Amino acid sequence: MLLVSCVLVLCAGLADARPNIVYFLADDLGWNDVGFHGSNQIPTPNIDALAYSGIVLQNFYVAPVCTPSRSALMTGKYPIHTGEFFMTLSWTDDLILYLRFDTHLGIWAGKIDMYDHTNMETGFWGFDFRRGYEVADDLFGQYVTDIYTKEAVKLITRHNKSEPLFLMVSHSAMHSGNPSEFIRAPDAVIDKFKYINDTQRRKYAGVLTKLDESIGKVVESLQKQGLLNNTIIIFSTDNGGPAAGFNDNAASNYPLKGVKNTAWEGGIRGAALLWSPLLKMPSRVATQKLHIVDWLPTLYRAAGGDTSVFENIDGIDTWEALSEDLPSRRTDLVHNIDDQLGYGSITVGEWKVHKGTTYKGNWDKWYGPSGRVGKYDIELVYNSYSGNAIRKIGRMPSKNITLDIREAATIKCDDSIPITACKPLVAPCLYNVDTDPCERNNLANEKPDILQMMLSELEKVNQTALPPNSKEPDPLANPKYWGRVFTNFGDYEHLNEK
Ligand SMILES: [Ca+2]
């Protein structure tokens, strides 16, 4: 198989057969915020074009919040095995993953105001935008999604085509920003969504439209540079959507239950797709389970690497399973175990257990909007930047196939399944997420043997967990001591001698 792909690539005149890899990571995007999951409310034609011509990752799982998910992606380990439950950033070592990239442009902390690039967090407020180590204050006032688009296109254009490219486009969208205005996008874009009555959701639509456009422009640039035919593209969220005002944001995980930072499917089942001409069976909905920890060995393998170099990781190489639609070795998932927050949740095969929950159970419901009213404009998909680029290399499927994929990727809650009481702070809850992805029917009382098996599995996993290395905010981190810039204050040892 390798030989065949080498011959094909040599025919294309490239010296290196290894594929380019581009990862688009959205922040806080909800399950129902992509058109290919059935919402008509906010068009995402560029993302949708990739989904239909690649594969929809229908059972892709992430950690419930940002930092654990990102550490899982980079290390191939569950957050319980790295201790990265929340963000810690104080000295250069924390940045080493970024700095092993050839270039870096972006933020160091967790979120940003999309225009002024300041961050207000835990009582601290400061500027946070860097080009490598340098403070990139020359970009002040520019819309952050546009900055990432321009930078990605620049890197692709300049790229030496005899070498494979790894490009990580970690978007600030869709995370909310600062209290002065939590959700920000250009007025002209927001104005296109006058039909959305909820102001925050209307602004969210503006941010999402810019995100979708960015992805399209980067895909177009890959095609223009002749790289697309040998590229693997992943688009995913880092955690479930903050819906209904959670985190002052307006995502939708409909019809899934819960929000970001809960272990319900809405918090951990992530909108995602995998796209590549290297996929042997594209244009379908992949039902194989996948966790964000799996990307490290999966992509390493796809790039021709030997995954036996990875020791003690949780990630499983799923490349063949995804490419050829084969059964995957990934059957079980650890969503999180956090003794500090007092909850744990895992999936074993079709079963999922919740022991405890977050926010005293206040975010354990179903939230909209459904986005099911209105019409899906499939022409937008074919005429988008992505759609056009993919058509040019002959890989867009027919409209009938596209609509079939969308139908199959649209989760419908089965209303005939009764909603039975679940009080995870009182007693564990058990769901069959294959037949009941909306987590309606708590089967804990009905299936005591399975519940027991799940609880002992959870306990087994818990014994391997490291304590969280979360730290109290260090007053020295306050940007007011550092020219109002968030910085690697831990490197300045003399100031740590209190
Ligand atoms: Ca996030």
Ligand 1 centroid–CA 8 distance in Å is: 39
List the one residue out of 206, 111, 102 whose CA is nearest residue 158.
Answer: 102
Q: What is the pLDDT of residue 101?
A: 85
Mean pLDDT, the chain, integer:
92
Ligand 1 centroid–CA 35 distance in Å is: 20
Ligand 1 centroid–CA 65 distance in Å is: 5
Q: What is the pLDDT of residue 97?
A: 52
Ligand 1 centroid–CA 238 distance in Å is: 5
Ligand 1 centroid–CA 173 distance in Å is: 9
Ligand 1 centroid–CA 33 distance in Å is: 14
Q: What is the pLDDT of residue 234?
A: 98
Helices (H), 128-268: 144-158, 187-190, 199-224, 265-268
Per-residue pLDDT of 7-48, as tens digits, reads 333 334 444 689 999 999 999 999 999 999 999 999 999 999
Tokens matching residue 133:
């180590």
Ligand 1 centroid–CA 15 distance in Å is: 38
Ligand 1 centroid–CA 175 distance in Å is: 7
Which region among 143-152, 169-178, 338-347, 420-429 has the lowest average model confidence (pLDDT)? 338-347
Which region among 5-14, 73-82, 104-113, 457-466 has the lowest average model confidence (pLDDT)? 5-14
Reported as half-sphere exposure (CB side, CA atoms, 13 A), residue 354 has a value of 30
Mean pLDDT of the region 303-332: 97
Q: What is the pLDDT of residue 471?
A: 72
Ligand 1 centroid–CA 121 distance in Å is: 15
Q: What is the pLDDT of residue 438?
A: 98
Ligand 1 centroid–CA 171 distance in Å is: 10
- Under CATH, which architecture does the 18-330+367-412 domain have? 3-Layer(aba) Sandwich (3.40)
> Is-contact 454 71, C-beta < 8 A?
no
Mean pLDDT of the region 376-381: 98
Ligand 1 centroid–CA 197 distance in Å is: 25
Q: What is the pLDDT of residue 339?
A: 84
**pLDDT class of 469 with cuts at 50, 70, 90:** confident
Integer Cα distance of 7 and 412 in angstroms: 44
Per-residue pLDDT of 82-123, as tens digits, reads 876 554 455 555 555 555 788 999 998 889 999 999 999 888
Ligand 1 centroid–CA 61 distance in Å is: 13
The segment with the largest mean pLDDT, out of 8-12, 128-132, 208-212, is 208-212
Q: What is the pLDDT of residue 89?
A: 53
Ligand 1 centroid–CA 358 distance in Å is: 16
Mean pLDDT of the region 316-344: 95
Q: What is the pLDDT of residue 91?
A: 53
Q: What is the pLDDT of residue 92?
A: 55
Reported as half-sphere exposure (CB side, CA atoms, 13 A), residue 221 has a value of 19
Ligand 1 centroid–CA 373 distance in Å is: 28
Q: What is the pLDDT of residue 304?
A: 94
Which region among 80-84, 153-157, 286-290, 415-419 has the lowest average model confidence (pLDDT)? 80-84
Which residues are CB-neighbours of 246 under 8 A, at least 6 positions away? 259, 260, 261, 363
Q: What is the pLDDT of residue 340?
A: 84
**pLDDT class of 468 with cuts at 50, 70, 90:** confident
Q: Is the pLDDT of residue 169 over 50?
A: yes
**pLDDT class of 492 with cuts at 50, 70, 90:** confident
Ligand 1 centroid–CA 87 distance in Å is: 11
Q: What is the pLDDT of residue 293?
A: 97
Domain spans of the chain, in order of start? 18-330+367-412
Ligand 1 centroid–CA 25 distance in Å is: 9
Which residues are CB-neighbours of 78 under 8 A, at least 6 positions away? 63, 72, 293, 314, 334
Q: What is the pLDDT of residue 88?
A: 47
Burial of 394 (0-12, 13-18, 19+ CB in 10 A): exposed
Ligand 1 centroid–CA 240 distance in Å is: 8
The DSSP-derived string for 391-447 is HHTT-PPPHHHHHHHHHHH-----TTS------TTTS-EEEETTT-TT-----TTT-
Q: What is the pLDDT of residue 151?
A: 98
Mean pLDDT of the region 394-411: 98
Q: Is the pLDDT of residue 497 over 60?
A: no
Ligand 1 centroid–CA 260 distance in Å is: 8
Q: What is the pLDDT of residue 85?
A: 57
For the chain, give the percent of residues with pLDDT over 90. 83
Integer Cα distance of 110 and 87 in angstroms: 8
Which residues are CB-neighbours of 283 under 8 A, at least 6 positions away? 52, 53, 54, 55, 397, 401, 405
Q: Is the pLDDT of residue 265 over 60?
A: yes
Mean pLDDT of the region 160-173: 95
Other beta carbons within 10 Å of 146: 16
Ligand 1 centroid–CA 162 distance in Å is: 34
Which region among 11-15, 153-157, 226-230, 370-374 has the lowest average model confidence (pLDDT)? 11-15
Which region among 43-47, 207-211, 379-383, 472-476 has the lowest average model confidence (pLDDT)? 472-476
